[in-house]
Amino acid sequence: MEIVDDHKDRAERMKLLFELNKHITTLATGTMLLMAGFYERVFKSPTWKELAAVTFVLFAATVLCSVFAMFSFAMYSRKTHNTPDDPIEWGAKFFTAGLFTLILGVMAFVIFVLKNL
């Protein structure tokens, strides 16, 4: 009975991680769209333009990592659990990388905005 419960718990965690990655993807994509739309309107003569490009790249990397993590979590099944082909290993790596790039992207964006106020 414990094995079935463990599988159900793990499957539920995969669903929750999938949903979390959907939210991260939405936030990063929305930020990229806002940056592209308001860049010239808000900042007439921006300084540190390279930082804006770095911010955009970091958010794009966040989206890619989150999408790959979602694919990994969606591929979870009882058959692949604890095998060399277990997609959760890759999903965890992509999830961690996505969070790291999201944090760096937010920090770069805040620095860019503060520098150009």
The reported pLDDT for the residue numbered 60 is: 97
* Beta strands, E only, the chain: none
**Confidence band (pLDDT; 50, 70, 90) for 68?**
very high
Give the integer Cα–Cα distance in Å for 19 and 11. 13
Query: Which positions ≥6 away from 64 have C-beta within 8 Å?
Result: none
Burial classification of residue 47, based on how many CB atoms lie within 10 Å of its CB (0-12 exposed, 13-18 middle, 19 or more buried) = exposed
Q: Give the count of beta carbons closer than 10 Å to the beta carbon of residue 56.
A: 18
- Please state the pTM of the whole predicted model: 0.85
Q: What is the pLDDT of residue 47?
A: 87
Give the chain's mean pLDDT.
87
